[in-house]
Amino acid sequence: MRPVVALIALVALTACSPAGPSAAPAPSTAAPAPSTAAPTGSSSASSGELRFREVARLEQPVALAVREGDDRLYVAEQGGKLRTSDGATVIDLSGEVSTGNEQGLLGVAFHPTGRWLYLDWTDAQGRTHVTEWAYDGARATARRDVLTQEQPYANHNGGQLAFGPDGHLYVALGDGGSAGDPRGNGQNLGTLLGKILRIDPRGRPYKIPDDNPFAGREGARPEIWAYGLRNPWRFTFDRESGDLWIGDVGQNEREEVNRQPTGSGGGENYGWNLREGDQAYRDGEGRDLAEPVIVYPLGEGGNCSVIAGHVYRGRQIPWLRGHFLYGDFCAGWVRAAPVDDLKAAAVVGQVEQLSSFGEGPDGELYALSLQGPLYRIEPA
C-alpha cells in the first residue's frame, strides 16, 4: 500500500491507505467571491504563457459544473455544500455526507435543459448516491435518489458526473476500495463498481439506453458503459469532438489517462486489475484491453494521483486550442498536450492540491485546489 502523502480528505485519489487524517493547511471558510488579489502566477509553454488567476475561495472544492442559460459557476465542496460563484448555497448535505478519507460530496452535473441538477455523494454508511433535484436557478426542490451503490470500503468512490453529447448521464464508480481490487470488481460485469455507467436519469429511478453495450447481455449490468477502472476520479467530454477522456488513479506504479473516441459504442475494458497503466498487474493475457494514451510514473517527483482535465476549446488562448490539460494532485503540476501528439506534453502551471478542472459555458477552463482557491486559466 502507498503511504499517505497529502491531505487524506482527498487521498481517495491516491492508492489505498488505512491511515487517518494527516496535517494540512485548512482551507478558508469564506463564501466564494471574486478575488481582488493579483494573479497567483504564470507559467510558460512552448507556444505562449498561462496564468492561474484566483476568482473565488471555497471550502475544499472538488468539482465544477455550469447550467444552461446561467452564467454562474456551480462548485461542489467535499464537505457537502453546492455553492455558486456569487456566494449562494444551493444545496447543503453537510449533515448527511460521510467525511474524511475519499468520501463526501464528490460530483455535480446539470441536465442539458438546466431543469435538474445531480450530485454524487457518500452517506454516513459510506454508500454512493446519485441524487436529483428540480432546479429553477433559485431553489432546488423535489429531491429523489436516482441510484444508490453499496461500497465495501471507504476509498475509490469515483464521483464524477457528466452529461455526454448524447444527452445521457455518465457516472464514475471506483472498484470499491482497499488495495489491488481484492474482490475483482474491475473485471466483473455483474457489479457497477470499477465502471463508468451510462443512464437516462429521468426514468423511475432511471432508464437504460437501448444501445448500451451490455444491455440484454446475461450476467452483465446493463448500466455499464466502460469497465476495468480502478478509481476514475475525473473524466470529461471534448465539447468539439465528443471524445471521452478518463483519468484513472493508479495503485503503486502508474497513473493513466484513457481516451474513448466518440462513436466507439462503449464496452471498452481499460484493464484494471489485470493491468496498471501500461504494465501487467495480474495475468490478463488474451484479453482485449484498451491501451491508455497517457501514462506517467507514480512517486516520481511527488506524483500520486492523476487529475483529468479538458480539451481546451475556448477563444482566449488561441495557442492552447486542441490541447488536453491534466495534472497531479500531490505534485501539483498542470500539463497541456496536443490531442494529436500527446507525448509533446508541457508543464503550463502549478496548483497545490489540484482536485479538479472545470469548463465554463464559454469553453474557458478553471482549476480547483482542495486548499480553497478556484482559478481561472488565462493568457498571461
Residues 6 or more apart in contact with residue 35 via CB below 8 angstroms? 53, 54, 55, 56, 57, 373
pLDDT score at 180: 96
Banded model confidence at residue 215, pLDDT cuts 50, 70, 90: very high
Averaged confidence pLDDT in the chain: 89
Over residues 259-277, the pLDDT tens digits come to 999 999 999 999 999 999 9
- Give the up-direction half-sphere exposure of residue 26: CA atoms within 13 A in the CB hemisphere: 4
Q: In this predicted model, which residue has the larger pLDDT, 289 or 284?
A: 289
Contacts from 89-93 at CB under 8 Å and sequence distance 24+?
90/117, 90/135, 90/140, 91/117, 91/119, 91/133, 91/140, 93/119, 93/121
Q: Are 140 and 162 in contact (CB under 8 A)?
A: no
Cell of 154: 471507504
Over residues 291-305, the pLDDT tens digits come to 999 999 999 999 999
pLDDT score at 46: 52
Which phi and psi angles does 367 have, rounded to 5°? Answer: -125, 140
Compute the distance between CA of residue 257 and CA of residue 221 in angstroms, rounded to an integer.
Answer: 24
Banded model confidence at residue 245, pLDDT cuts 50, 70, 90: very high
Cell of 5: 502523502
pLDDT score at 23: 29
Q: In this predicted model, which residue has the larger pLDDT, 65 or 2?
A: 65
Mean pLDDT of 336-363: 97
Compute the distance between CA of residue 361 and CA of residue 379 in angstroms, rounded to an integer.
Answer: 18
pLDDT score at 100: 75
pLDDT score at 49: 79
pLDDT above 60 (res 284): yes
Banded model confidence at residue 283, pLDDT cuts 50, 70, 90: confident
Query: Which residues lie across from 186 on neighbouring strands?
Result: none
Compute the distance between CA of residue 36 and CA of residue 3 in angstroms, rounded to an integer.
Answer: 38
Compute the distance between CA of residue 153 and CA of residue 137 in angstroms, rounded to an integer.
Answer: 36
Range scoring the smallest mean pLDDT among 5-14, 61-70, 225-234, 316-325: 5-14
Q: In this predicted model, which residue has the larger pLDDT, 2 or 231?
A: 231
pLDDT above 70 (res 220): yes
Task: Taking the CA atoms of 12, 13, 14 and 16 in sequence, report the sign of the dihedral they define.
Answer: positive
Q: Which CATH superfamily is domain 8-30+57-373 in?
A: TolB, C-terminal domain (2.120.10.30)
Closest CA to 157 of 83, 107, 220, 117: 107
- Percent of the residues in the chain that have a pLDDT greater than 90, as a whole number: 83
pLDDT above 50 (res 53): yes
Over residues 2-44, the pLDDT tens digits come to 433 333 344 444 544 322 222 233 333 333 333 322 334 455 4
DSSP secondary structure string for all residues of 3-55 = PP-S-GGGGGGSS---------PPPP-PPP----SPP--EEEETTEEEEEEEE
Can you give the pTM of this predicted structure? 0.90
Banded model confidence at residue 64, pLDDT cuts 50, 70, 90: very high
pLDDT score at 134: 98
pLDDT score at 105: 98
Residues 6 or more apart in contact with residue 137 via CB below 8 angstroms? 67, 70, 114
Q: Is 239 exposed, middle or buried (0-12, 13-18, 19+ CB in 10 A)?
A: middle
Strand, helix or coil at 304? Answer: coil
Over residues 124-179, the pLDDT tens digits come to 999 999 999 999 999 999 999 999 999 999 999 999 999 999 999 999 999 999 99
